[in-house]
Structure 1
């Protein structure tokens, strides 16, 4: 019997709460619409929109640079080469050998 009473109370509470909740929700929504439509809020919104439009190219350029840098860094990590000390990749992208000795150390080879 206690479960049935609990469920009945839960049902009544839900129905009454839903009706009161919807009424309060509509009050809050009406007030929020009134505030949003007011002159001071809309003038501030227009100011923010203009600032965003002016700064969009700057932000886009910075994001583009950051993306290129991150992409290059990721590419280096993914395709990174583990070259011996006598080899290096030049700015032209080609491998270059250290020709100052015979391999890793001139003192090691004749």
Structure 2
């Protein structure tokens, strides 16, 4: 989901600024997304969401 949002924003901004700027935005986005700290935070967030949904489905 996050990738699609980022790609969409990058596309819109890139279309207005030209292909070179679009490529720069995409490279920056990928660098941020691939950063170990971001990956770690995303893993923690996924685990917390999984815990929440797991706890709710167990109550039913």
Please provide the CA RMSD for this pair: 2.0
Q: Which runs of 4+ in 1 moved over 6 A?
A: none
Specify every segment of 5 or more residues in structure 1 that has no aligned partner in the other structure, as ranges: 1-17, 63-110
Check if 1:38 corresponds to 2:35.
Answer: yes
TM-score, normalising length: structure 2:
0.61
Write the mapping of 1:1-110 to structure 2, written as runs, cut at 5 A: 21-60=18-57
Relative contact order, higher structure (CA 8 A, sep 6+) = 2
3-state SS of paired residue (2:18): helix
> What is the distance in 2 between the residues matched to 1:31 and 1:43?
18
How many residue pairs get aligned? The number is 44
Larger Rg belongs to: 1
Deviation at 1:58, TM superposition (A): 3.4
Bigger share in helix: 2
Specify every segment of 5 or more residues in structure 2 that has no aligned partner in the other structure, as ranges: 1-14
TM-score, normalising length: structure 1:
0.35
Bigger share in strand: 1
